[in-house]
């Protein structure tokens, strides 16, 4: 009986270990959707494709500070598949925007950086908070060409 119990514990431990390793490749993990290139620049994008998007008008100055993109004083979050290189930002629909530039986009503004990842699972909140901390930003905006 002791051998059966020990074997069951060992098998259970191995199962937990496998489950933990499998979780490392979770499909909900943040992914920028960007294709790396030699001149790729950092950009925060949604974790996955979304058909829903806030409908407010975002008007401001798109700038880079401390390696982070901001619209005015808010961390900028762009659609999944948006890329960035030395010439600016390329959106999935083909539109391009230079950095720096004045922008007029569709989106939404959020002043709450304490949101948990589960509150907005599509937004990579850790990356948003990292940029907010580095730049002094107090919020973030979802932004896409309108």
What are the structure tokens assigned to 80, written together? 């999944």
Yes or no: say if 80 and 48 are a contact pair by the CB < 8 Å rule: yes
Q: What pLDDT shows up at residue 19?
A: 30
Please tell me the pTM assigned to this model: 0.72
- 114 domain-assigned: yes
Separation of alpha carbons 105 and 22, rounded Å? 38
Yes or no: say if 79 and 32 are a contact pair by the CB < 8 Å rule: no
Q: What pLDDT shows up at residue 118?
A: 86
- 44 domain-assigned: no
User: What are the phi and psi torsion angles at 11 (to 5°)?
Assistant: -65, -40
* pLDDT > 70 fraction of the chain, expressed in percent and rounded: 73
- 47 domain-assigned: no
- 117 domain-assigned: yes
- 21 domain-assigned: no
SS3 101: strand
For 29-38, 84-93, 119-128, which range has the lowest pLDDT when averaged over its residues?
Answer: 29-38
Residue 43 CB contacts under 8 Å (≥ 6 apart), including other chains: 32, 34, 69, 78, 82, 83, 84, 89
- 4 domain-assigned: no
- 62 domain-assigned: yes
Q: What is the pLDDT of residues 65-92, one digit of tens each?
A: 999 999 999 999 999 999 999 889 999 9
Answer yes or no: is pLDDT of 27 > 90.
no
Query: Which candidate, 43, 23, 22, places its Cα nearest to that of 33?
Result: 43
- 71 domain-assigned: yes
Tell me the average pLDDT across 32-44.
57
Residue 123: which domain range?
A: 56-145
For 2-11, 51-60, 102-111, which range has the lowest pLDDT when averaged over its residues?
Answer: 2-11
Q: Into how many domains does the chain fold?
A: 1
Residue 40 CB contacts under 8 Å (≥ 6 apart), including other chains: 34, 83, 84, 85
For residue 8, give the H/E element and its range.
helix 2-23
Tell me the average pLDDT across 34-58.
77
Sign of the torsion angle spanned by Cα atoms 85, 87, 89, 91: negative
């Amino acid at each position: 009986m002791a051998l059966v119990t020990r074997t069951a514990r060992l098998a259970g431990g191995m199962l937990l270990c496998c489950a933990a390793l499998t979780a490392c490749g979770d499909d909900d993990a943040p992914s920028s959707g960007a294709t790396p290139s030699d001149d790729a620049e950092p950009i925060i994008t949604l974790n996955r494709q979304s058909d829903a998007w806030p409908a407010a008008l975002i008007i401001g100055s798109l700038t880079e500070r401390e390696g982070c993109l901001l619209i005015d004083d808010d961390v900028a979050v762009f659609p999944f598949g948006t890329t960035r290189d030395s010439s600016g930002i390329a959106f999935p629909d083909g539109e391009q925007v230079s950095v720096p530039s004045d922008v007029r986009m569709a989106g939404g503004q959020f002043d709450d950086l304490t949101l948990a990842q589960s509150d907005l699972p599509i937004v990579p909140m850790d990356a948003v908070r990292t940029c907010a901390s580095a730049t002094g930003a107090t919020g973030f905006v979802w932004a896409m060409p309108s």
